[in-house]
Structure 1
Amino acid sequence: MKRYILPLFLFVLFLNTTQAQQAKHENKKQTDTLKEKKVDFQVMPFISYNRNLEFMFGAIPMFMYKLNKNDTISAKSLSGMSAVYTTNKSYFIAAFNKWYFKEDTWRAKLFFLTGDKNSQFYMTDIEVPGFYDYGTDLTVVSAGVQRKIIDHLYGGLTYTFAHYDTLYEDDVQPEDITQTNAIELNALYDSRNAIYYPTDGTKALLRYLAYPTWFGNEVGANQISSEYNRYFSSRKNHDVIAARFFGKFGLGDIAFQQQVTIGGKDIRGYSQGKYRGDGLMAIQGEYRYNFNNKMGVVGFAGIATIYGSDTPEFDWKAYPGIGVGYRYAAFKKVKFNIGLDAAVGKDDWGINFRIGEAF
């Protein structure tokens, strides 16, 4: 418990400081209410902890804006950067963009990530079974676009380049240098009433990712990813009930870096990276309780399973996760939350900083 009191304290201190600054400048801001800002800018602190990367801290400046001020249909676009350092000596630098334009006829994204990730994985086919550390220098660049086909239905194309250089503790595996070029075809059904904080509607996404040898990949492989999110308003539209199914299925020769690991937003409460394989399926539900316009809490629970693990006894077992979280509205004009989630899983737990909702 002592190990994560500090990040929780710093996060609460940030919120209190932010509220004080808002109160100090309230008179000035009231004069600006008739004139909406062209660009909303915020700098978010990043504070988190898990049993793998340990204590994580950094900063995330973000911009929210309209590409065309006369476009009243498209959601506001979002751009930002992040710089994160961890006490296990990992670091990550990223830039992200999501654009909505032409009255929501077009959607586009651009993402860049570079860093050095020091992590671990679990091995049993070795003289001394257990966790072994590995370090990966990574660079990822992804760009995609989607076009509306009919109301609520979009089709899109994404290209993702990734380069990984992985070294393993005690040479339990040889150094692995992997470079992939992925072509993704996707279809999106989106009837949500808001992009960043929906209270009603459905988001269903189907993605087919191909890694063909003719496109610069040493080994051909394919992945299919699917997700289905459903949102229901509750308590006279004050709260939200959200449900999610997620599945990712590897086909062919899946590289170590392309495998999926139980954890992240799909089943919170897993941070050690123990359960990984070629495919994963997960379901979860979440209740989002808003006790005022700026703050709220969430409760969530879910269950996952994997297949294609290098440890066969991990395959097709049930991995539950349950937890609670705190939310704070980052922007004034658009409902967009940041927060902390604390969750427990099977022999594991984690505390995660959240930019936006989990799904």
Structure 2
Amino acid sequence: MPIRSSGKLFGGVLLLLSSLSLHADDATADAEPGWFNRMTNWVEHELANLGGDGEFNPDDGIDWAAVPGPFATPDSGFGLGVSSVGLFVVDKNDTVSQPSSITMTVFGSSKGNIGIDLDTQIFLQEDRRRLYIWGVAEKVHDVFYGPGIKKGKRNHNKHSFKLDTLVVNSKYLFQMAPAFYVGFGASLGQNNVKGSVDSHHTQPVTSSAFPQDVRTAGATFHAMYDSRDFGLNAKQGRLLQADGGFYNSSADRSHHFQKLALEYREYQAMGPGVLAFQLASEFKFGDVTWDNLTKLGGEDRLRGYTTGRYRGKQMLMSQVEYRHNLPGRHGMVYWLGAGTLGDDVSDLGSEPWIHSVGLGYRYELKPGVNLRADFAWGNGDSGIYVGVNEAF
């Protein structure tokens, strides 16, 4: 998971150095090496030392690539993070399954923000079985403006606080037909508010709307059609998936709610790159606690908005991205996106839509696995996101 500007901005220095490599082909073969070339060679040499050599060797067990760098934001202070990805195969005789992966981000900052995010995708038995595990353990600064787009747009609604988070989600899928899978999973989470900060900017919210210690457990059910060639960075194919769940949250009282998430992705070769499209919705019904509201913003859903600012029970969003391959292991991306929230399904579209536009740089660390650096702009907000893997 990328380290992002909204709480975890990953090394601007690394971004600058990596972007210099775009100039590597400008020099002629017989030219005296200039500072662009020397800097490019140094960056590529250091990334190769950290596993970013553009190759995958299944004999290495887990073949890792790591990208370290500093970050700085007003909420987190100065810090250091490492974003890494490891590719591996469970059975070397399996020529059908795509490589399995572990994506991990570890970070710490001068104001006490620390955490680890982990995302694992394992493909088994010639892709007849799939196991997905995602987890996060963090102590960070967070924000809550209330549910909905309108409340999120009002700066005086800001409630800023310190949050301890521990979440683990898993799902296990069985192949029922070519490219079609069904399965089940589990979700466990705990969120503890440890104290307000920036109180002179905060309009307090009631304890009933903002319980400060919440534990959530859920049973989940899944259906997926997936014809993508590589899940981390598809060049072609389609994804259709439905995820449902029944949840119980224990806070000041018992809360019960249900979730249905629907998503469609399409990837098509176009010119020197790939056109990627995503349409996603999420619907929650029942008594949903604030920490279980669906978020818009962050490194995946509408880059360019502070994570946690926009939350709601119902969500609808879409984004389209063109991934442009450049000579060597370089690339650029350009995207547009839009999304909205609602309290009821019938409310979707009645609240304002927020929009995202941006561009980014890519450097291939492993086959199909990119270092990404994205610059995103939203309605009155912006973000910079650097890490590994694509937004969708």
- For 1:256-267, what aligned pairs fall within 5 Å after superposition? 256-264=290-298, 265-267=300-302
Would you say 1:89 and 2:143 are equivalent positions?
no
Equivalent of 1:249 in 279, 283, 288 = 283
Alpha-carbon spacing, 1:284–1:306, altered in 2? closer, same or farther (3 Å): same
Q: Relative contact order: is structure 1 or structure 2 higher (C-alpha 8 Å, sep ≥ 6)?
A: 2
Match of 2:274 in 1: 240
Paired letter, 1:243: F
Match of 2:45 in 1: 20
8 Å contact 1:52–1:120 — kept in the other structure? Answer: no
Q: Distance in 2 between matches of 1:298 and 1:20?
A: 24
8 Å contact 1:344–1:350 — kept in the other structure? Answer: yes
Q: Distance in 2 between matches of 1:355 and 1:157?
A: 28
Would you say 1:271 and 2:306 are equivalent positions?
yes
8 Å contact 1:47–1:353 — kept in the other structure? Answer: no
8 Å contact 1:308–1:315 — kept in the other structure? Answer: no
Q: Distance in 2 between matches of 1:33 and 1:226?
A: 33
Q: Distance in 1 between matches of 2:58 and 2:301?
A: 39
Match of 2:234 in 1: 198
Alpha-carbon spacing, 1:156–1:49, altered in 2? closer, same or farther (3 Å): farther
Paired letter, 1:352: Y
Q: Distance in 2 between matches of 1:35 and 1:261?
A: 37
- CA offsets 1:270-320 (integer angstroms, 9 cap, x no match): 1163322112100110000011241101000011111129xx9x9621111
- CA offsets 1:42-100 (integer angstroms, 9 cap, x no match): 22225667776576641134321110111011011112432112465322123332111
- For 1:320-339, what aligned pairs fall within 5 Å after superposition? 320-331=355-366, 334-339=367-372
Paired letter, 1:210: F
Match of 2:186 in 1: 159
Where structure 2 has 5 or more consecutive residues not aligned to the other structure, the ranges are 1-7, 22-39
Paired letter, 1:19: E
Paired letter, 1:9: V
Paired letter, 2:168: V
8 Å contact 1:184–1:210 — kept in the other structure? Answer: yes
TM-score (norm 2): 0.77
Q: Distance in 2 between matches of 1:259 and 1:320?
A: 20
Match of 1:122 in 2: 145
Q: Distance in 1 between matches of 2:69 and 2:183?
A: 31
- For 1:166-185, what aligned pairs fall within 5 Å after superposition? 166-167=193-194, 169=196, 172-174=205-207, 176-185=212-221
Match of 2:31 in 1: none
Alpha-carbon spacing, 1:136–1:35, altered in 2? closer, same or farther (3 Å): closer
Q: Distance in 2 between matches of 1:6 and 1:178?
A: 29
Paired letter, 1:320: H
186-195 or 109-118, which deviates more: 109-118
The Cα of 1:161 is off from its aligned counterpart by 0.6
What SS does the corresponding residue of 1:89 show, helix, strand or coil? coil
Alpha-carbon spacing, 1:255–1:320, altered in 2? closer, same or farther (3 Å): same
Count matched residues: 340
Paired letter, 1:240: V
Match of 1:222 in 2: 258
Match of 1:131 in 2: 158
Equivalent of 2:171 in 144, 150, 162 = 144
What SS does the corresponding residue of 1:257 show, helix, strand or coil? helix
Alpha-carbon spacing, 1:107–1:166, altered in 2? closer, same or farther (3 Å): same
Alpha-carbon spacing, 1:48–1:240, altered in 2? closer, same or farther (3 Å): farther
8 Å contact 2:318–2:338 — kept in the other structure? Answer: yes
44-53 or 150-159, which deviates more: 44-53
TM-score (norm 1): 0.84
The Cα of 1:205 is off from its aligned counterpart by 1.2
Equivalent of 2:386 in 330, 353, 358 = 353
Q: Distance in 2 between matches of 1:200 and 1:219?
A: 41
- CA offsets 1:87-116 (integer angstroms, 9 cap, x no match): 653221233321111000011022332111
138-147 or 243-252, which deviates more: 138-147
8 Å contact 1:299–1:325 — kept in the other structure? Answer: yes
The Cα of 1:18 is off from its aligned counterpart by 4.2
200-209 or 135-144, which deviates more: 135-144
- CA offsets 1:180-209 (integer angstroms, 9 cap, x no match): 111110111101122222221101111002
8 Å contact 1:204–1:228 — kept in the other structure? Answer: yes
The Cα of 1:7 is off from its aligned counterpart by 3.0
Q: Distance in 1 between matches of 2:371 and 2:92?
A: 26
What SS does the corresponding residue of 2:158 show, helix, strand or coil? strand
Alpha-carbon spacing, 1:300–1:336, altered in 2? closer, same or farther (3 Å): same
What SS does the corresponding residue of 1:289 show, helix, strand or coil? strand
Match of 2:373 in 1: 340
